[in-house]
Every structure is written in structure tokens, then in C-alpha cells.
Amino acid sequence: MAKQYRLREGDVIAVDTKTQLTTSGSDTAPGPLNGPSTMKFITALNVAAIQNMAAATSYSAFIRLEGPGLVNGPETFCIGAGGNDVATGGNAVVEITHIPVNLPITEANEIQVFAEMCGTDIGTLSVQVGIEFSDAAGEGAGEHKTLTVEGDVTAADTRTALLTQGSMTSPSLLVPAGYTKIDKVIVAAASEGLADGGCSFFIRLGGNAVKGGEQLLPVSCAGRIAPQAGSDAAPQTCYPRVLENLDIEVSPSDTVSVWAEMAGTDTGTGRVCATLIFAK
């Protein structure tokens, strides 16, 4: 299988704002990101995002792929979450997360990459997206479609519906026509860490579309204790976790619901982002 690789990066400086990633470091004007010649699929994304620790709050983040180069239309992917309990210090690094997908493309047509910061304005969010193109479908050999939702969890042990998608306040929650299972889920969750304690985050998948009834999936755990005087607590940085081979049966064109919970102690507002990846 022949492959080619492209990358776009940039900074998101406003919450719930669709921000196009147009540069590649020193290559400040790389031009349109077109599907390379002979390539038929996007078979993986390599993503990373991190806040600049400039605000005492929390966020979640995702990317959008759009443009005429995507055969089945726009796609969205969760890329992380994080939080800070102070705006006076912090230092962290986030490694890339590898997301295997099968998205058919049209060669020589443009694919645009956008990023969004959700929740509250964390300051600046730096994002990079690497795209792997292939001349054949990858693992599983089927086509994928995505649905991403996010939201705020403001109380412990409380079921909270995830209903928004950043700047899109009412995304469709219908399973795409012709798709019969949730193949993968990408999730991330973090809190502000403004209160002492520990908590765990998980999501529930349900609604009329989920044939086997409600499914519960773990996401992350967070904890905080007040630092000694004159010190700053470390930031929370949650990588997007890719849960693979889930094979959750769903009914095409029916409604799927996603809820998030923070179990244990309320450590401040939690931000949760989840991407459902559907397969046929």
C-alpha cells in the first residue's frame, strides 16, 4: 500500500470558533491541501493539542475536516481536553494520538482542516493535525463516518447530555444512513481542578439507535489537592483515547444519545468531548 503524509497546524484563540489550520511551521503559505495523486483514502490522523495555561478554566477540543476532497462530506474528531486551576504557571507536553480511519477522498480536490476550542476560553490552544493518505482502504477496509459532541459537566454524579459541537449548537444526532455499528469512540475529559478531590469521567451511549441498550465507556480520572503557598498546581492534559473494535450495533437514520458523568468528588467544571466513528 502506497502512502503519503501532509500536516497542518495553528493556534485557536477564541472559544467555540471555527479556526482554519493553514500553515506547516516555516511553510507559512503551503497552499491548498489537495488529495495527493493516486491516493484514495485518508487512513489515519495523528493529532495533538495543548493549552498555553493562560486561564484558570478547562476546555475540550476537536477538529473538522471539510472540502470537496471528502467524498462523504465533513468529518469531526475529538483531539483532547485540559484544565488549569491557576493562570500563573504551568508546563506540559502532549504527544500525538494516532487515529485509524477510512475516509474516501477525491484526488486533486481540497481538504480543509479546522480546529475548535470548546467550554471556556483557555487562552491559546495550539493544534497540529497530520494526515495519512493511502491508495487503498486501511484496517477493516470499510468506510467510516463520524459524529462529535461535547459539553460541560458541572456537578458530580449527574447525567449530562452532550448536545453541542463548538460553534455548531445543534448538530444532527442521527446515525448516518447505511451505517450499522459504532466501530470506534474517541473520548477526552478533564476538569478545572478548582476544588480538592478526585473524580472519574465516563460516557453513556444510548437512544433509540443503540440496539443493545445503554452502553457505558470509561474516559479518564482527575484529581487535585491544593498546593502549598507560593506554588502552582500542574495543569490537567487529557489525550484523546481511541476505543477500538467496539462493534456496538445501531439502527441507521435513528437517534443516538451521548451523556457524560463525573463520578466521585466535584473538582470543578468538567469538559467532555466524544466522537462516534460509524462503520457499515
pLDDT by residue (tens digit) across 105-119?
Answer: 999 999 999 999 999
pLDDT of residue 141: 66
pLDDT of residue 278: 98
Distance CA 51, CA 44 (A): 24
Distance CA 190, CA 172 (A): 25
| DSSP string for 168-228 | BSS---BPPTT--EEEEEEEEEEE---SSEEEEEEEEEESTTBTT--EEEEEEEEEE-PPP
pLDDT of residue 75: 98
Cα–Cα distances in Å, from 161 out to 8, 9, 142, 234? Answer: 32, 31, 30, 29
pLDDT by residue (tens digit) across 189-212?
Answer: 999 988 899 999 999 999 999 999
Cα–Cα distances in Å, from 210 out to 4, 12, 44, 247? Answer: 36, 34, 26, 11
Distance CA 257, CA 162 (A): 8
Is residue 2 over pLDDT 90?
yes
pLDDT of residue 142: 86
Distance CA 53, CA 235 (A): 7
Q: What is the DSSP letter of 23?
A: B
Distance CA 32, CA 255 (A): 35
Closest listed residue to residue 89, CA positions, set 193, 223, 190, 235: 235
Is residue 73 over pLDDT 90?
yes
Closest listed residue to residue 179, CA positions, set 124, 142, 151: 142
